[in-house]
Amino acid sequence: MIAMIDWQAFTPVSAFSGGMIIGLATALLLFVAGRIAGISGIVGGLLRLQRRDFAWRAAFVSGLLLAPWLWRELGTLPPVHIESNYAILALAGFAVGIGTRYGSGCTSGHGVCGLSRLSPRSIVATVLFMLMGMAIVYVVRHGWE
């Protein structure tokens, strides 16, 4: 099972520079607030409605939600293609909600911040969710065989 790279779809420049921008955002939050830019943790903390830490969490999520609006002010959003139906999306969202809170992080908290910190927990988490994601896509697209 060797990957055939889809050179047509591969966008190395926007991917790497977008990643660097995400890294800069992470550095900003870290340097000023001393916090990990883990989206699931920040949103999860908001749901608990604790007064402490509420303001910076709300500010971060507000900034995140403003991003597509600002992008639209300057140009047009890149096209988005959704393959899953609404029932699958709801099921997936639910699994992501419980899973990220139970496992203490997602692609940003474990994947970006955790790997940057060389955290053993985050390395394990990232490998596991990547492998599981690949397994699910394999089953959905190519069947059990």
Partner 1 sequence: MLVIIAALFSGLIFGLGLILSGMINPAKVLAFLDVAGSWDPSLALVMLGAISIGFFAFRWVRQRGQTLLSMPLHLPTSHVIDHRLILGSLLFGIGWGLSGLCPGPGLVLAASGQLAGIIFVIAMLAGMAVFDWLEKYRNTHLDHSQQKNIGK
Q: Which of residues 3-62 bind partner 1 (CB under 8 A)?
A: 3-6, 9-12, 14-37, 39-40, 43-44, 47-48, 55-57, 59-62
b or e along 89-105 (b: 16 or more beta carbons within 10 Å of the residue's beta carbon)?
Answer: eeeeeeeeeeebeebbb
Whether 34 and 53 have beta carbons less than 8 Å apart is answered as no
- Minimum distance from residue 111 beta carbon to partner 1 (Å): 6
> Which residue lies nearer to partner 1 by CB, 51 or 132?
132
138 lies in the binding site for partner 1 (CB under 8 A): yes
How many angstroms separate the CA atoms of 88 and 84, rounded? 6
- Minimum distance from residue 75 beta carbon to partner 1 (Å): 10
Restricted to residues 106-135, the positions that interact with partner 1 (CB under 8 A) are 106-108, 110-117, 119-121, 124-126, 128-135
Whether 39 and 64 have beta carbons less than 8 Å apart is answered as yes
- Minimum distance from residue 51 beta carbon to partner 1 (Å): 14
Restricted to residues 76-105, the positions that interact with partner 1 (CB under 8 A) are 77-84, 86, 88-104
- Minimum distance from residue 116 beta carbon to partner 1 (Å): 3
Q: Which residues contact 38 (CB under 8 A, 6 or more apart)?
A: 105, 106, 108, 109, 110, 113
> Which residue lies nearer to partner 1 by CB, 1 or 51?
1
What tokens appear for 91 in the block? 């099921």
